[in-house]
Structure 1
Amino acid sequence: PRFSETTEFGGTYVATKVGPFGNLRLKWRNPFGGAEVLELSARAGVEGQLARLDASQEPSAYYTVQYGASAALLVPQVLAPFGIGNFLRNYQPRTRFSISNTFTSTPYYTRSNTEATFDYLWQKSVYQQFVFTPVDIGIVSVPFVSQVYQNRLDTLRLLQGSPLYQSFRPVYEPSFSFTSLFNSNDINQTRASAHYLRLFVEVGGLTRGLYRDAGWFKDTDLSVYNFAKIAVDYRRYYRTSPNTYLAWRLNGGAVAALTPTQPADATISQYILPYDKYFFAGGSNSVRAWAPRRLGIGSYATRQFQRSTGKFDGPRDYVTEQPGNVLPSHWRWRRRR
């Protein structure tokens, strides 16, 4: 069909609070007469969370509100100069433009994340797909942070070196990335033996030296960091009987700041990563041994760089999580047409 719509409603039960959510996705094929695909989506939800800002306090439950929207246009050709698209014309090339915004509101803070990307996609075979993203721009803004929560962030930063406070600062995140995806599984039925391998490489902030010290950029109060990230996700599927399957997964990666950055509120440089680029594991959609939405950066502490001596202690990017015992209950209702 030229038009399709997917509506989903559901709810969660977390921290003794019931939280409804809903998603709406619209797909319009051939909107401009060139076999393009336009996708529009909107989502909104309310979810309960537990919070304890002070060690002497008992955890208290509260609601968080999250809503957002996104738009993506997929064009069935490579939009690039100098005939670059001719090298990929036999591999089903496509170009994708997308933009999205997510807004989160809690009693302690409000946070907005806006992202725009420009991607090239092509397929080497039915199983192999590549995605090159030359432009990925993200802006994180935090309109409100309560004084109680800000005091807690400052305490964690000063006493433990926690970089959590970085997620509540305005940040500009430019980057480019490359993804290789191999999947021999069937979308409708798991094969007797299948492989899934996803390789992801991302580098960001390389050109920050061109504008970071410019007056117009300083007026925005945005911070910008450079980093490199690599991730590997491997999955294996086995069919042991007509109705039984065995699957296992190996997922890992590494991320590091490339050069030190001097924050606006510090006198020395530090190796700092954008908070959204950290690796997280666990939660309700992964290893079911952690409380949902309670994933932090564990024992990682931001290392400082002393310019006067030229000595530094590089960051360690292995992160750990503290196990919890709260798992959510979910129910969903979905309609498609």
Structure 2
Amino acid sequence: MTDERLRRWRLVLGGGDADGTGRTLSGTDAAMDGALTALYDRKGQGGGAGLGASAPSVARWLGDIRRYFPTSVVQVMQRDAIDRLGLATLLLEPEMLEAVEPDVHLVGTLLSLGRAMPETTRETARAVVRKVVDELEKRLATRTRATLTGALDRSARISRPRHRDIDWDRTIRANLKHYLPEHGTLVPERLVGHGRASRAVRKEVVLCIDQSGSMAASVVHAAVFGAVLASLRSLATRLVVFDTSVVDLTEQLDDPVDVLFSTRLGGGTDINRALAYCQSKITRPADTVVVLISDLYEGGIRDEMVKRVAAMKASGVQFVSLLALSDEGAPAYDREHAAALAALGAPAFACTPDLFPEIMAAALEKRPLPIPEG
């Protein structure tokens, strides 16, 4: 085995008599090994080799892992430190927040701390959340606007347009089979017109978001998408969050950070109550898309929730049920409720942020959803 392979195995196995590498680490390798041992060595967690519970020692450790590991690894290690060692409360201290690597999961942890967060920490926390939100918007906003604008244009096209509303490019392409070569001309049988979506709101979207603790990453992504959808003039977007109560955050959609700090992660779930509120706000069912983002663990009236979805679909509402809106895949979820929704023609599935624009475009155009496999 080469020296490099021995070095890597030594870092993986953590040393001791059982690792079998016989390798001694020094310099940067020793520092990396120390950072890993502080978090993952079970003996260290209970004794002096662990991170301990003091903010200074954790802040130093956070600085070390950012120095020695790539960002993607740092984010995983931070998450493990919070979950394994119970360090969430230390995030209430500003110096700790300044040391961490911001990511979606960290935002979820901060939001779950909620009212426990002192004023001295709140501004630092907002800065951390703002950085993550800005990065998500850069990644998602342009493609989302382009995809949905195209879908809205297509859904608004008319088949008997006035002359000034004819989309000549699409009309020619739609009638190429009617080209008469002997006359060198094309006789259109069907005219394709531009929609008038810019003059009036054509579609309405309601995002109904479960804010139970397991949905933290979905809440973050939904807030960003809500702000992007609200920026489209041809959409009227409403954002509703719920646990056992229902809060309408539509008025705050211009700033997803405000939306996030108005949520309250954790607690129970009453999906039926939330859907009842959303249903009461629908004025044009045939032009409305309702997106429920929830793991479907219902704490309210279970049968009524399914009946309410059936009623909305029967009225013409396009209903989309997402078990998660994150990069993590499907969480634990209520399979009985998922099967009941699927039987209504509203299959429940996990959706990544990159796929969400395509899901929304399909819903707006009333065509089959591009449901991911698995």
Shorter chain as denominator, the TM-score bin is: under 0.3
Using structure 2 for the length normalisation, give the TM-score: 0.25
**Which is richer in helix?**
2
Using structure 1 for the length normalisation, give the TM-score: 0.26
**Which is richer in strand?**
1
